[in-house]
Structure formats: structure tokens, C-alpha cells
Structure 1
Amino acid sequence: MQMIQTGFGMLTPLAFGLVYLICSLTAVRAEADKKAHVASSGDSNRTTCMEIQRHNNTAVCCENQLYPAAELSYCGEKAFNPEEATCCPYENGSTITEGLSEKVSACCGLKAYDQLNQICCHGTILVKPGPNAQCCDKKAFDVDEQMCCGPLTNKTILTKESSDHRCCGQNSFNPTTQCCCSINESLRIRSKDSRCCEKADCGQNTYNTSDKLCCQSTVVSKNVSNAQCCGKQAFNNDTQLCCGPSDDKIILERISIDHLCCGRNRFDTNKECCCLTKEGLQIQQINSSCRRDQGQSSDAPAVFNPHIGVCCGRCVSDWNPSTDQLHGPPGQHSCRTKVYRPHAGIISDGPRTPHFCGSKAYNIKDPGMKCCAGTLHNLTQVPEAQCCGAILKNKTNVCCLSEHMEVLYSNKTGFECCGHLYYNTSLWSCCAGTLSAVPPRGQHPKSILRSLGNLNETDLCGKLQVGIVERDGLNGIVFNSVLIIHGRNASVIPRSALHTLSTGTDGCSNAKLVPGKSYFFDDVKVNVFTDFNHDSILQSIYFIISKCHTNI
């Protein structure tokens, strides 16, 4: 009996690995066969767009034309790829800014900008002078080092001499030794023992008028020299709004000079209107019935949500979010007389294989084909290209990736990746995938997170491991339930204990990983991999073995 237990104990890891592998291949093949069957079948879930029947999936058939790129969206009537460009709509149309993904951008008037390293001030895009930059009229200033002083229409930027200094008109003063006095309707700086720095009564208290306010019998400190009362609080009329009825005031940030109060909320007068309805004051779109009832034009462009729809001329089409594009059975669209697969956008009548990129079948052993997040690319022109999200990266671009996304950027001197963000090293420092607005320590460690789909065949088919993150420590990442994968040998062997991937002494090169989630990793090159092409570890393992083993 003892001999049987010992023998069983010796065989358990190997047996487990074989069972796991057999189950993996069987399950994924069954799933692929099912997917291939569905892809070749019709689908009754159709809608009509400009007299064209189409399936409610990810591709778009618009204006009787077939657009083959699965990742295209629309900016007005122009097609563009939001992975590589940004659409900025305005009152009479829209513009496209190339070279900046919509994942990390915002619009400043007609042009998109990088929110991390730039700032939009009254329609002008400026480089941030510091991590905590703000606008001072049409200029940018560093809140930690500078002050923005003066009336709303005549601002000036001053050096902040100390943390105590405040504005007095277009000058600064230290309220511990000075006061800001209103003399003949002008603001003047005087010593604190000056007559203008007299005290006044506020309820049962007295206060210094130079740096205090009396708001509803309550003494409050002035945050700026021209502060005003908002209920029982002080607010800066240049940068804030005081909204609400007299007995229920609230202070809101003034996002722009075009923002006004609507009850206890704010609205943008360029895009919205404040309407009096039966339920009270409500903010509505500028082309709403409320606006038309007030005599405004009703010719405003139709509003649509780019995350659930695309607009092409007069055609608004359903659009599934990018996170859904890798899930669910592909349907078929009809554009004139052509039938096509929605994700690939083209007709595919070739032989079926159990491997799909999105909804398109392909041979994973073909070095001329590469799957990037559900989009299949032909590598005849760029044989060594790598994926960045759903697009191919060339040598002049940089791809930054985090746990959930990859973003393509134009290469810039003095910039580095921190997760999926591309940061200016003079403004930020990065540690373990997190940016900090502190002076850099001289070096900017590279993240160890990589994309599994960009591994070369030698590394992919050699020894890889996959495990569940137990914890992310200072000196390494601890994994449990670890499997050792040899793709070329088609073997999967479990480890019997916790395994630590040593990453360094300070942990700053560690990626921001999610405890309880599975990742592939390489002990030798100290890299962690995430897979944007497959929905499960099961599918990823099947892909590795199918790609590497000669008999599969």
C-alpha cells in the first residue's frame, strides 16, 4: 500500500500536466470548431442603414459602401482609426488629429492634445510647465512655483515667494506681515499696522478685512484678495462658480469662462442650455426641444455616443465597444450585394482552420500573418512589425502598454512609458506603473510588462511559465498555481510551490499587476506578459503549443 501511495505521489504533477494539456487542446478545439461553424452561418439580427441591411456587430456599412477595417470609426463623414487619431467635433463639423490615440487625448477646440503632458488654455495647447499646471488666461503656470494674479480679463503670472503669499491685484503680498487694502477702488499692499488693515465686526466676532471675509455672520479666510462670499464660504470668482439658491449654495470649479450656473449645477453655454421644466432647472443639449422652444435654431447636428454608435453622413450605426469585439459569434452584413464578416470586413471563402483572429480564420504558423487584438495583418511589407493594440507599430513609434491597453505614440526625446502613458521625464517620475509629480531620481526604470503576441518564436516556444499573482512585493512578484510550458515539446508541468519572479531591489520596474489574475512570465529575461489576442489562459496555452509544436 505504501508503494502505491509513493508511486502515485511521484506521478501526480506529470499526470496533472497531461490532463490539463489534453483538456486544454480538446476544449479550445471544440470552441474553435463552434466558432468556425457560426462564422459560416447566417444571422437574422439585422437592421437597415440607408436602405442597407447590416448585422449589429463591430464593422460598419455606410452610404452603400463597404469599409473593410474593423477598427475604423467615423469623424463626420471621414473614416479614421481611433487607435492612431482623435476626432474633435465642433458646431459645424469635425476635425481629425493624426498621431494621437483617442485613448489618451482630449480636444482643445479643433485639435486634440495629450492631457498628461499638455494643457488647453482658452483654445491654445501649451506644454505643462509643471505636473500641477493650471491656466492663467491663455498662459500656463506651475501652481507649486507660481501665482496667477489680477482680474479675470488681465491676468499676470508671478513667482510664488512663499507658501503664504497671496494675490493683491496684479501683485503678491505676505498676509503674515502685510495686508491688501482697497483704496480709491484700487488694491494696494500695506504693512499690517497700517490703518487700512483695520478690524471689523462679524456677528459677535471681529476680523481683519485684509485677509478675512464676513459671510452670513461667519468669519472665513480669503483664498484670494478679491474673494467673495458664497453662503458661509469664500470663493474665487475667477476660477469658481457660486451656484444654487441663497439658502443652499454650492461652490463649483469654473471649467471655462463659458460655464454658468444652472441651479446647483454648471453648464457649458456653447453646448448646453439651462431649461426650466416641471421638475425644475435642468441642463439639456443645445439642440433640445427646450432650446428650440426658446427660439433657437433646430439645425444643430445630431448627437451620438461614439462608444455605442458611429456617425457617417446621415447614417448612425450601432457599434460594439472595443472590449466586446473579441467576444461572441460573428454575424454577417449585407452591403449592396456583398456579404462580409463584420470584424474583418471582407469576404473570406478560404479553408477553415481552428485559429481565428477576431472572426477571421488564419494559419498561425504563417510568418506573413500577425494577429493584433482581433485584427489580422499581412506582414509582407513589414516582416518584423510588432503589435500595439489592434495596429502595427513601426520603428518610429513607441508602444506603451498597461494591464488593460496598448497605446501607440510618436517617438519623442525625453519621454518614457509608464503603463500605457507616455510621460515627459522632466515633469514626472514612474514607479511600478504609477506616475508621481515629484522630481525624478535620475533614472527611469523600464517596465517588465510585455505583450505575449510580440514574442519571437525562440522565446515563445522555449520555457514560459504562467501563474496567478499572489502578491507584488518590493523585490519580486509571487505567483501561485504555476505551470511550466514548453511549447516546442507540447508539455505543461505544474510547480508544487509558490514561485517568486525576482525583479530588482526597489520594485519600480514592476508592472501594476492585479492580484488573483494570471500572467505569463519569463524567469531568465525577467518579463511578465499579458495577452491581448485571447480571452483566457486556456486559449493562450493552446495558441503557444499550436504555434510551436510541429505535429499540431
Structure 2
Amino acid sequence: MERLFLLSVFLGYLAAVYGVDEEAVTISCGDTQYDPVSQLCCEDTIQEKEGIMTRCCNKQSYDATQFMCCKRKVSARNGTLPKCCGDIGYDAAYYLCCRGNVIKKSGELPQCCGREVIDASKQMCCKGTAQGKEGKLPRCCGTEAFDASKQLCCGGNLQGRINSHVKCCRNDSYNPSKEVCCRGVVSKKRGDKPMCCGAEAYDAVRQICCKGNLHPRKDGDTKCCGNVTYAQCKFMCCKGLVERKKGLIPRCCGQNAYDAATKLCCKGNVFKKIGTKPRCCNDTMIDGTKKLCCQGTVKTMLGTNSKCCGSKRVDSLTQLCCNGTVKNKKGEAPKCCGSKMYDATTHTCCSGKLSKANGAKPKCCGTKAYDSVYELCCEEKVRSKKGALSKCCGRDAYDVAHFQCCEGRVEKRQGAKPTCCGRTAYDEAHFMCCNNRLRSIKKSIVPMCCDKVLIDLTESLCCENITVSRKTNTSACCGAEQYDTITQICCNGIVNNQIGSKPQCCGSKSYDAAAEMCCLGQVQMRYGKSPECCGTISYDAVNSMCCDGTVQPRFGLEPMCCEFKSFDAATHMCCVDTILAKDSLVSPSCCRREIYDAVSSICCRGDLFPRRGLEPKCCADTSYDNAYSICCSGFLYNRTGLDSACCDGEYYDKSTHVCCNGMVKENVGINTKCCGPYPYNNDMELCCDGRVQPFVGSNTGCCGCKSYDANKFMCCSGVVKAKVGEIPECCGTRAFDAKLFECCNGILKKRPA
């Protein structure tokens, strides 16, 4: 009752001094009013504040410095890293939340596995089941653990691994060097280029797969057209139908082939090009210099000024097209306004309606015209200008020199610095606008708004929009509370007394930074010459070091961390998570969790082998001497030739063989090259569009997929033709003498004598 009495007195004081209504500062919680200084509104339920950090959780209030809200339930704030596990609070620094269960951390790498905690350095989680790590490559197969270096998991079934190249084909395993997997079916590799056609294996050199159907491959030029094959050199595929190529620019028109150099395709119909500007009009062809295409209808041009107006024809010199309606031009400046014509010297088109042009500079205001020299358009209303500097204020015009616009209402200018407070004009030199309410600043030294109330900062403070009487000149706000900045400190909204020579905050507490330090929200003593934090613990970095949140002793010439432990890198090595001594090794290295000397050994996929030969290297999971062997896609071969190389996983000798499209072929000459999958002698043959063709003269060239003698013949649109006359040239697929004839759009015309 006493608190309510004081609040009513305080509100009465504000009303008397500042002219504020008592109802203006009251706050409602549902249908009930409450005191925001001492109370909280939690889901329409009034709760008493227990401190500055009081918060809501469901319909309850709680102190956020000691508690936390977990799934709408209040739980104690525990430890250095407080978190929620369902509706329970726990310390994440020492515990884990595993499917709603709080379990203490254990082992080097604690992790959750279902509702249990496992040590990930020794165990693994296989679909919620804890399993021990097995072998060199521990992996999961369903809920079972296995060594991937010895076994293979295919569709949840464990298979024996014959070698490192074995792979899965659905539920079965297979050897990719000898077998192929086609839609879950394992088949033996066939031919030089094994591939799949559905679930069937085939040799892509001898066969081709067209929509799941196998066909013989005649050469590298064979392609698919639907379910059938064709030779790309001479034919083309037009919507699933094989057609012979025609002319200089072969194209498809539906299912028909045509020469785009001399013909035109209009919606599936082929026409011979006529005129200088042949084009399509719907499904027919027209000459663009003589005909018009008006919405798919052919119209004869009456002159060079003929244009389309919808489906009609107009003369652009004497007629206008207004929204598809033909109008004869009239007046000095004929223009269109919708489907009507008007003279722009006497009328104006405003939003599709004609209006008489007013004044020297007519403009539109909605559907009406006005004179922009003497009038204004204010929200589609024409208003006369008022003064030299007229502007709009809503639907009214006003003189900027004597009036101002406040939220759509014209107000008289007030003072030297006029501005608006809501819909009222005022002078900033004498008033202040507090939340759209005018307050006089005559009696204030340092005026300031605190919500709807005006305060003097020399006498009061505004703490979270609540006016508080200033106790001293050094007072400041800490949340909704006042404190002295000389003797106190504000930490996360909580007032604390200053401690020591260097007072600072650590979370919501204060501490002396000269003697203490803040480690993840925990105050710890400063130790040694170089104090640092390791999680929530402080340590001296001169004698210790932090390894994954654990303080370890610093020793040796090169102190380093290996997971949670420290070691001297000058005498030891960290292999994965194990510290091993270098001893007398010349070039120490790690091979998973083992240490070895790289001078005498080599590590291949986690396995150690003696370093032998001139050039020791790794090939998959074994070692070899690169001087005498070669590794091709994980398979070893002896170097038996002069120039050893790999061809798609196979070994070959470059001096006797060649690699064509991933297949090894025997050389057919000194200068052997590839034409697709086929070898050819570059000194005697040519590769023409994927086909091997013989030299037929000293100047042999390609014409499509054939070779020809360029001294005697010429290639005309893919067709070999004998040279004609003194100046032989091509016109489409025909040869002609350019001295006697000329080619015009694919048509030969005799030159005038």
C-alpha cells in the first residue's frame, strides 16, 4: 500500500510540474495496471522484481544471475558454461546433454552416442550404438564397426576386401579393374572401352547405346537419333528422324532437313527464300520489302511508310495507330490518348482522358490538366500557388516562407528554428518535443526527454525511460538503477562497488584487474609474469601452456600441444593424438599413430614399407621403385619399354603404341596420331570428322568426312566438286566460274557482257 501511495504522489508531482496526465505513464498487464519499477508483467501475470536482472519464464519471474529459463521452467544456473538440456540446467564445461540426459564428460574426446557418452579417441558411434575402434581405418556399417582396410560395407552388408580397389555395387562388391557395375548388376568388362547400357555391359568401341538399345558402331562418327544410329558426317537427327544433310547450312525444320542458306523454316513449312528481306509470317514466308505481317495476317505494303496497327495496315505519314484503332492525322501535333486522337498544342492526355491544355507549361494532375507556372498538384487536387516558395501539405498548398507542414496540416512558422511536434509547429529555442508532446525548456539548464517527460540533466537522470533524481554530479544509470561512477561500477545491469586500482567487470561481478583476471565469466587470480586464461582457469604462460582447455606444463626447446597434452617438439612428435619420441631418427615423420624415419621408410595409406630403389613412391597402399615400375590408377606395371606411360589405368610404351580415347592402340607409323578411338599415320592420312581418310594429292584437305585434292577439286557445302573455269568458286553445293557467273542468294546469274 505504501508503494502504491508513493507512486501516486510521484505521478501527481509530474502532472503538476510538467503538465503530464497521470494516465500517460501507467502501464497495463492484461486488464490490471502495475508499477514497472518494482514489478514485471509475465504473460498477463504481475510478478514482483527480485533484482535488476529479473526476467520472465512462462508466468514466473526469476533472477537471471542465479537462474535460467529452460523450456518455460526455471532452473538453477550452474557452473561456468550454463546451458539447458530440455527443462534442466547444466554446466557444459563438465557435462554433456545426450538426448535429454545430463551425463558427466569422460575420456579425452567426450561425445554423445544416443543417450550415452563415449570417448571418441577410442570409440565410435554407429547409428546410436557405441563400438570400439578397430584396425587402421575404423568405420561403421550400420550398427557394427569394421576395419575399412580389410573389409567393405555394401548396403549394410560386410564384404571381404581383396585389394584396395574393390568397390560396392549396391549390396555386392566388385573389382573395377576387371568388372563393371551397371545399375546394381556386376558384369565382366568387355572390349577396350567398357561401359553400361542400362544393366548390360558393352564395348563402346564396337557398339553404341541408344536409349537402352545396343547397336553396332561403324566408326567414331556414329551417333544416336532416338533408338536408331546415323553417321553424323552425312546425316542429321530431326526430332527422332534421320535425314540427309542438305546445303551450306544444314538445319532441321520439324522432322525435315533443309539448307538455311537458301531456304526458310516457318512453323514446320520449308520455303525457298525470295526477295531481299525474307521472313516468316505465321506458317508462310513473305518478302519484308513488299509485305507486312500484322498479327499473323499478310498485308501488301502501299509504300515505305506502311506499318501495322493490330491486324490492320496504316500509312504512318497521314495516319495514327491509337490502341489498334486507325485515325487520320489532324492538327499541328497529332498524338494518341487511348483510342482517341488529339492535337497536343490545344489539349493534354491525362491518365487516358483528354483535358484542355492550360497555360504555358501544362501538366497533369490525375485526369485534369493544370498550369504548372501558377498552380500545384496536391494529392490529385489542383491548388493555386501561395507565394514564391509554394509546396504541398496533404491536399493544400502553403507558402514556405511563412508556414510549415506538420503531418499534413499547415501551421504558422514559429521562431528562428521552426520544426514540428506531431501536428503542431514549435520553436526549438523555447520548446522540446517529448514523444509528440510539447514541453517548455525555459527553466531547464540541460533539457532532455525521458519518454513523455522533460527533465533537467543537472537534477535528474533517465534510466530505462524512468525519471530518477540525481544524487551526485557523477551519477549515471545502470539499468533502471542509479549509481556513483567514482565508487561504483555497472556490470551487466547490476551495481557493484569498485574493487582495487583497476576496477573492471567480469559478467555481472566486479574485480581488480591489477591482481585478478576474468576467464569465461569467472574471476581468477593473476599468476606469474605472463598471466593468461585457459577456459575458466588462469595460468602463467611462462611456465605453463593451454592445450584444448587443459593447463599443461611448458617444457623443452619447442613446447607444443598434442590434443590435451604438452610435449617438446625438439625431441618428440605428435602423431594424430599420440606423443612419440624422435630418438635418433634422421627425418622423423608420422604414419598415422606411428613414427618412422623418412630416410629409410615410406608411408603409403597408413602402412610402412622399407624405402628401396632409386625413386621410392606410393601406389595406393603399397610402395614401389618409380625407376623400374609405373603406377597407373593404383595398379603396378614393370617398365618394359623405352617411354613408359599410362592410358586410363593401363600401361603402354609410347615408342610402340598410342593412347586414343583411353584405349591402347598399336602405332601405324612414325608420326602416329589419334582420330577419335582410331590411330592413323599423319604422314599418309587425315582425320576428317572422326574418320581416317588417305592422302589423295600434295594438297589434301577435308570436305566433311571425306578427303580431296584441293589442287583439282573444291569443297562446296560439304560436297566435293571439280574446279570450273579461270576463277572457280562455290554457290551452295555447285561449282562455277566467277568470271562468267555470279551467285546471288544461292542462285547463279550470268554476268553481263
Q: TM-score, normalised by structure 2?
A: 0.24
- Normalized per residue, which structure has more helix? 1
- Normalized per residue, which structure has more strand? 2
Query: Which entry has the higher C-alpha Rg, 1 or 2?
Result: 2
Which structure has the higher relative contact order (CA within 8 Å, separation 6+)? 1
